[in-house]
Amino acid sequence: MKIIMLGAPGAGKGTQAKMIAEKYSIPHISTGDIFRANIKNGTELGKEAKTYMDQGKLVPDELTVKILLDRVAADDCKNGYVLDGFPRTIPQAEVLENELNKLGDKIDYAIDVNVPDENIIKRMSGRRACLSCGATYHIEHIPPKKEGVCDKCGSELVLRDDDKPETVKKRLDVYHAQTQPLIEFYTERNILKTVDGTQDMKDVFAAITAILD
């Protein structure tokens, strides 16, 4: 079972990907994690990726897919995997599809965790973080015992820059321009499944497992 997770930043697709991976005993693969592992282990692909990253450039799609295919060729992926954060664009999706085709392989499901922009802005601007111990809260859903103060270490809680409404709005604009077209791409291939991401996390997961089972 090979799955791609789609959804805007803050839609909760990462959380769902982890839960899917756990339930079906398949690896949760995030491109960021693979890059870091390759760079840390000093692999050839990692060294190549690092030359781009050190210059502040995006790693080319072909190299990203190479690193990804190297990861999905590992033994723990023989029953499938969940891809989180890739592909982000149509060219990436096409390169991935072509390379998997060569291996006689394909993606089974593209799951879109659909959440309207205004919900995401509200959700993310309610987040609070403790910069001292890394604990995270939400003013509505997981409030600290004392407003503005971390339960764990007593430090001040802050709204991170990337959770501010104006930043979230910019990230959503990029998502709609680059990643939204993937919805159509996977619809044409009859593998797109959409779930309502505004529900409770457990209900979203139940909707996903109903599709996969």
Active site residues per annotation: 13, 88, 127, 160, 171
CB 76 within 8 A of CB 55: no
Per-residue HEC secondary structure of 176-201 comes to HHHCCHHHHHHHHCCCEEEEECCCCH
Q: Are 80 and 164 in contact (CB under 8 A)?
A: no
> What is the SS3 assignment for 134?
coil
- Residue 127's alpha-carbon distances to 80, 145, 202, in angstroms, are 33, 15, 20
